Structure 1
Amino acid sequence: MTKTKELFKSVQQKNLIKLNLQQFAGGSTLYELKQNMATIGQQLQKVENELSAKAIDTSASMEDIQALQKSKSDLQMRFNVIKDQHDQMEAEQKEKFSQKLGISDIEDPKQKIVKAKAELIRATMYGKPVTDDVLQALSDGASPSNGGEKLLPKTMQNELLHEPFVKNPLRNISTFTQETNLEIPKIAFQLDDDSFVGDEETAKEIKATGDTVVFGRNKFKVFVPISETVLNGTSTNLVATVDRALESGLAAKEKKVAFATTPATGEETMSFYSTQNAVKVVEADTKYKAIKNAIADLHEDFRDNAKIVMSYKDYSDIIEVLANGNATLYQAQPEQVLGKPVEFVDAAVDPVVGDFTYSHFNYDLNMLRDRDKDVKTGIELFVLTAWIDHKIKLKSAFRIAKVVEPAPTV
């Protein structure tokens, strides 16, 4: 009981010291905090050296070693509290300083983009015109008068300050671009012999539909709720909030159009499952056999780079059947089980197998920014209107694996 009381008393003392330090540091300047860190850091280093010397000194008593350990622990706690205050104050001062700078005065390209994005969002929410330097900073050079190309998170996750709420696994394997009036060839090369395409199915497709893909414009909106606190807060937090919401909205839209079983009007050609695309269906009496047959049915030009997109539930069902009580198979990688890399998308009602470099998403460079209000909550909304298209450049590069019940025997 005595040891318990002593431990409780020690914890109380440490918490009191921490509180006093926080109150003291809160009223200090950044320079004073740096000085305090240096002073305590030197004391901490001295105690650590003494502790090391005592530890190897066989004549030193355990009481001396324990006293030095307690002193080290107290100094370390003091140092950590002051360092936390220092880091927070330093970050706030940097943020305030960057907010005072004009966009053209910021040298760091990433900070310049964050600053420009924040200015554009605030201008939109306050109904003010967007300045030319903001548009220029967010322009890729193609249309500086419009700007905003870099507002839309496009392909790489490292463009975001925080991870999105919703992700689209197709971003790991499909092609993504942001171009206006995009037209591209279906195949990357040609030979002087017009019969060079080894896959007869591909050759027929190109002959029937032409050798180029023309991307259209399908409008959609992303609504981002922004509280007054976030809007008036730091540029970094504001941009992080909008970036994450935009990326989540784009990911949700991309998955929706690519795997829609009943596509919306005008979006029929964007789905792997649409009758307009008519991707070849390979059938079998089990999901596992259907996937294996679909891989084998691909031409070797596509099979080498093939991947499988399927729901996690379908994969779990396959593992349960194949494992048959053997736990080893549950630990295997999906590629080891199915023979090709796997991306899990719950929206994939039937597995899609193929070379996903022929799955191409394109966003139009032009976009509209507006503000709205959720009348139910009173929260202001940042609204982005964008245009998207998803083209399956070669339908022969894909197969849909489908389970069919075996015909009853008579």
Structure 2
Amino acid sequence: MRRLRSLRGISAWFALLLSGATAASGVAVYLALVSAVDRQVDLRIETEMRDVLAGHPTLAEIARRIARKQQTRESGDIGFLLRDIRDRPIAGNVVPAKPVPIGLSTLGAEAAIPGLSRGRALRTALAGGGTLTLIAESEPIDRHDRKRLLILAAGFGSVVLIVVAGIYALTATIRANIRALRGTAEAIIDGDLRARVPVESARGAFGGLAATYNRMLDRIGELMAGMRSVSNDVAHDLRTPLARLHGRLAALARAPEAAPVRQEIVAAVAESEEILALFAAMLRIAEVEGGARRAGFTRIDLAELVADIVEGLALLAEDGGRQLVAAPAGAPIVIDGDARLLTQLLVNLVENAMAHTPPGTTIRVELATAPGEALLSVCDDGPGIPAEARERALRRFGRLETSRSKPGHGLGLPLGAAIAQLHRGSLVLEDAAPGLAVRVRLPAAGIA
């Protein structure tokens, strides 16, 4: 049987198996009850049969004994039928509509005996010829069998209903706790590292699990805060002396006595600027991943913002021998976000395309909508990024050029991904055939 992986499947199978077992138990109990009643009736008519046939009587004597039996209270509800060797009735008070087989058998309404809905019959062949049949009711009350079935069905049905209700309550409780765990996990993935699972009672199984889960999150938060604090402190502490070093190198480059080595000093100034930009990018990513900027989100028309940015970058792209084009978005696309961060996101993506494509490349900025979201795409027809290298390109300091001889520090795309995640969106790299397509999905607040 296929492995059950869902609460609904497990509950459905458990309820089905339990219902089947309960129904089978009900049928078994009913059959056992009917069998017990039949056995008691059989013992009674066998006893009466032995009493009537005691001493090997003649047919006439048997007829007289039957007459006496019919007058006694103990045998008043038993039917007798004595037949001779030619199968003609001699004595008795019942005549079944259908022949009764030799031995014990069950009779029903088809026997057409007045007042008999179900009974047992015992027919014996006599030594001198002829037969004697005794019939007794096993259902003394009309439609008692149906009522017995109703009682059993009600009893076992109640058991099934109680168990099903218990399964439903247990499943609902498990689902509620799973939803709480999932909601907390999604909130943390969304950037809210302070989210925790609500704990109703730490003594219960689910409460204890939630408390343990929260302690784990607290510990992870402490470790992440420590790592973030170390990296931020290092970046802050190094940025200040680097800024001073950059200033001194710049001042030294302007000094007349530095003329013989001015070219080397200018190169050192450029290197220090690159290092300062690297630390600034690291601090920027840490700030974005912290999620604090989300509190200042406002309603933004993404179409208008993109149009303004593309207009400002078009001349820069043209100076580099590339063409930057944007398809008109049409209607306004409203999202909740930070305009400065979204501006930096798009500028980073366009500058990244200009830095890694040859002159003559066309860079396209497209904006589209889908149900509940806005899709921002920056595509180029350059060399692109191989599929196996795209994941590395989104990691911090993940550069495709392993020799690292080209300028850049591999933080542009990771910063863009962090900004998209801050806006509860995503950034993925795809094949533009040819070139690279960077797709940014953002939840839309409204599409006018």
**Shared fold (TM-score greater than 0.5)?**
no
Normalising by structure 2, what TM-score? 0.22
- Give 1 or 2: higher helix fraction: 2
Q: Which has the larger radius of gyration?
A: 2
- Of structures 1 and 2, the one with the larger relative CO (CA 8 A, separation 6+) is 1
State the TM-score, normalizing by the size of structure 1: 0.24
